[in-house]
Chain A
């Protein structure tokens, strides 16, 4: 039984040799990591639901048409 196990392990090691100790990546990965780390801020702006943008556009339009209403809007905010 023990011999079977050892033979099996040996077969596996011959078929799939180890990768070696502390292998280094071929390219500098830091720029890719930094890009991923910086991405969420940009993504969160783009990922805002459409109705948020519609509400903002409506508010800007309202303020452009009725500038006198700005103090009233600010009062209620």
Chain B
């Protein structure tokens, strides 16, 4: 009977083989990689766009981009960080191209129920202020402040340094505070 250590070694070897086949463009291997990582990619995109149907479409877009770039995949850097980076770029492209009118219709978050202790109107205004942030600041603010993701992970996903993430979060906070104060909301 194989011990736990040899099982882990076998699984790692199998996983490496699948990733190697994926790098060569094998669609069956790509499906295995997709099934293994779709949840990570979908959750990451959902944290940014906060709309499940849009997150599903962007997950498809992300895996299509990943497949197109299969030859550029570097196994030494791991699949999940690379996938998160491609997903972040796809989400940023979406946020940049989305029309402003759509952004202003954002009311309550589509993914979770309202929290007690804050009025619906104020929630709506804060969501709108967040939607008015420039896309790179919004992504950094959502991931760091709302989703509480590690700064290192956000930096890797955005392809910037940890210090640059902190700067973006700081600028986003300042922008939001001014925007809310203009609307008569004092944080």
A and B form one complex: yes
Question: Could you show 28 A-B contacts with beta carbons less than 8 Å apart?
Answer: A4-B187, A8-B176, A8-B187, A11-B118, A12-B130, A12-B145, A13-B146, A14-B115, A14-B117, A15-B115, A16-B123, A18-B112, A19-B46, A22-B40, A25-B38, A25-B52, A25-B56, A29-B38, A29-B56, A30-B31, A30-B34, A30-B35, A30-B38, A33-B63, A33-B64, A36-B63, A37-B27, A37-B64
| A-contact 0/1 string along B146-181, CB 8 Å cutoff | 111000000000000000000000000100110000
Is there contact, CB below 8 Å, between B50 and A16?
A: yes
> Which A residues are closer than 8 A to B by beta carbons?
4-5, 7-9, 11-27, 29-30, 32-34, 36-37
The DSSP consensus for interface residues of chain A is: helix
A-B interface pairs (CB < 8 A), number: 109
**How many residues of B are in contact with the other chain, CB < 8 A?**
45
A18 and B146 contact, Cβ closer than 8 Å, known pairs A8-B173, A29-B60, A37-B67? yes
